Structure 1
Amino acid sequence: QVLVEIEVEERPPASDAMFALGFDTNLGDMLGGILPKKMKRRKLPVSEARRVLVQQESEKRIDMDDVTRDALQRAEQDGIIFIDEIDKIAGGRSMGGPDVSREGVQRDILPIVEGSTVATKYGPVKTDFILFIAAGAFHTAKVTDLIPELQGRFPIRVKLDGLTQADFKAILTQPENAVTKQYAALLSADSVKLSFTDEALDEIARYAFLANENTENIGARRLHTVLENLLDDISFNASGNHPVIDMVVDAAYVNERLRHEFTDEDIHKYIL
């Protein structure tokens, strides 16, 4: 690997204490136009040195004020903010009254959603024309548990259907980085060549669907739980200190490993 020596700008590391206090603006950026830049020489591989030099030259040629102005305008006119897990701040009324902490979070979000000016390190951003999309599972809470003012800021509501057995099968087979391929790649490091028959994938999808139906519905994440229960013995015994082993998971093996895990009713929930 060929190393070249180049001169780069010395940048002080960001302080965690500043971030903890909410000051996310680097003082070096604020004083960069006033104080002279300190340079130092570094030895880097050619590929990394090329990237650093391109970045330095780009900073010299690009007017960052124009970039910031254009970014702020795009954020205000075309920005989309996705608020996930909004059901976690939807609290029903308890015996002592409403859940004050969750309602407080909702009232903090409310002015931003309905339109206000938010101060950022790049300047003020108006949220009047930003599109807000919120999503949540709403298994235990209901949409009506949100404060009425916040409900009114999301006039379009869409309910998604739960994943079916066919959906789980598609998730196991179609993505380029499907979870089955991830486990196969992980075990290949320990000299285990893992593969699944089509019937085995059908059974895995069926058990994942049943587990979501009979217990908490956690969506596609259920596949990780099912595959961990299915392959834990193989993962534990794979040491890599042996020739390559061909491991073909078929429907019989899936049923043997998962039949009692995901079909037997848990009687512990009836014990006081």
Structure 2
Amino acid sequence: MIKTYFMLTKPGIIFGNAITALGGFILASKAQIDPWLFLATLMGLSLLIASACVFNNYIDRNIDKMMERTKNRALARGIISLQKAIIFAIFLGLFGILLLMLYTNLLTTIIALTGFFIYVILYSLSKHRSSYATAIGSISGGIPPVVGYCAVVDRFDMGAFLLFMIVALWQMPHFFAIAMYRLDDYVAASIPVLPVKRGIYITKVHMLLYIMAFLIPVCMLMLWGYTGYAYLIVMGLIGISWLLLCIKGFKNTNDKLFGRQMFRFSIVVIMMLCIMISISIA
């Protein structure tokens, strides 16, 4: 049962967001890490994200039954009662907020709560109705690195803004790639993601444009003096490689394979971003 509750928090999402929060924290601290502040920030944010994911599972429980990849989730199968899930989500959220309030600062707590609100209320309640939900979700996805950054410096400056833009723009082709290789699931659940509403070709065009936009704040992070040349060289090469893979996809007739390739490479991109921020700070 403990494992069931743990899976309800979507640990993969928690881990991914913790990685970007780590990148923001290291960038702001210039690698001079306060271990207690780091631990409190990561734990508080992770608990709040876990809470958001449980609430999302609650909201999505009916459409989860229609999708192959989600039909075995605890709330979709009724393994955990709805009341217990809500209590669990509230407990996680309150504990996460408490940690952030006690050990970070008010700005960090407010930013984290903003991300929580956008994901649980705006994104979760709109994903069944509009293809624009993906863009809303990307906003909440761009919050964790800002939380990590602001926990250190207690201000929202250009560094925080660039981190937000980088990760928010990265989210879009990442989400589109998932929607492409999981297209049958989204069709079955009548979720109006872009490939369902506008088709694969238009989705590829959007992916290309977002990757091009992503490269701008990636470069600006070095131009504004936050990172070194090694970061720019590595991220420039990775970003261009991602762009070329996307361009190649216009000739690819196996769209599910292309979607999976783009998804996997997007993971490489975000991991390398955080690694290069950590080792190439100006």
TM-score band by shorter chain is: under 0.3
Larger radius of gyration: 1
TM-score (norm 1): 0.25
| Larger relative contact order, structure 1 or 2 (CA cutoff 8 Å, min sep 6) | 2
Question: Relative to total residues, which structure has the larger strand share, 1 or 2?
Answer: 1
